[in-house]
Amino acid sequence: MSSLFIPKVMAQACVDVTLNVGSLNTDPPPSESSGGDATTGTNASGSKPDLIIIELSLEDAAHNPIPNLHINTSARCRMRLKNQGAASTSTTFRTSCYISDGLKTDDNPQDMGGEETQGLGIGATHTEHEDFTLEYPGWYNMMACADSSHQVTESNENNQCKREVAFEVVSSPNLTLTAIATTTGITVFNPGEAFSVNVTAANPGENFGKSIYIGWYMTGGAYGTGEVFIARDQIKRENLKGGMTKGENLESVFAPTTPGRYTLIARIDYDGRVNETNENDNEIRLPFHVKGSLGGEDDIFEMLLN
């Protein structure tokens, strides 16, 4: 389940936006093709302006170029535009910044907002900035488009965008499991009996970028010292942000058919999708017992448990 993207527009000239990539863009960027011949046009000389983006880069709040940024830290999309056409324009037009998840611009880049430019003369350049923050780590890429509001009739309408300036957003998550128990509190079962288990996941660190899984294993008894994988349980990134806890339930766990002492193991991020500040607190264990016929050592243990 993806979360909603909610822009927050400031009163100043810049727009501050928190991005959750994945929601649909309601104001798509200008479409582009492989180009085309300039047309002639609207002023006395028969010429038109041609607005392009000549520079696109990522900056921090102090206007310093940066290769990456930390989650929830303000950054800027720096867009330098130029009128390379044969006519000036006095029309106010918008220059917009877009961000996509990954290294390539996708079909629905997220509109991060834009700035209004009050016309641009022949050969003139102008720089705009758009402020934003990102709440999840990962690779992203920026695209900027001049005249994204389609206010200016240009000699070439297919060269307005500069795209795929890639950058990385980093964070420091710490995924852990803090509690485990059967739903009934009982840890002695008949051979093949089904039971359910609750586990509590926590993230005392920061947001992570991908959905993760808890891997479930059994060991002991007939399995010896080996671990047998039995299930996995997904946790979406929005459900375990930094500082959050989340309860998970594994239903219909079947006790082994061979009597003995066993251990159920839960291991968060078992397949190593997330780089954590502590990789040594991802596991929690629940011992349990499968009943046998009375008379053996395990059955004495069983009677003590009951």
List, for residues 162-206, the tens digit of each pLDDT value: 998 999 999 999 999 999 999 999 999 999 999 999 999 999 999
- Report the alpha-carbon distance of residue 218 to residue 263 in Å, rounded: 6
Average pLDDT estimate for 56-72: 95
Is 133 within 8 Å of 98 (Cβ atoms)? Answer: no
User: What's the pLDDT at 231?
Assistant: 97
- Report the alpha-carbon distance of residue 54 to residue 286 in Å, rounded: 60
Average pLDDT estimate for 210-224: 97
- Report the alpha-carbon distance of residue 194 to residue 199 in Å, rounded: 17
- Report the alpha-carbon distance of residue 36 to residue 220 in Å, rounded: 70
Q: What percent of the chain shows pLDDT beyond 70?
A: 80
pTM > 0.85: yes or no: no
User: What's the pLDDT at 107?
Assistant: 84
User: What's the pLDDT at 32?
Assistant: 47
- Report the alpha-carbon distance of residue 100 to residue 113 in Å, rounded: 14
User: What's the pLDDT at 299?
Assistant: 54
Average pLDDT estimate for 59-81: 95
User: What's the pLDDT at 259?
Assistant: 97
Domains of the chain in start order, with CATH, are 7-170 (2.60.40.10), 176-305 (2.60.40.10)
Whether the predicted pLDDT of 300 surpasses 80: no
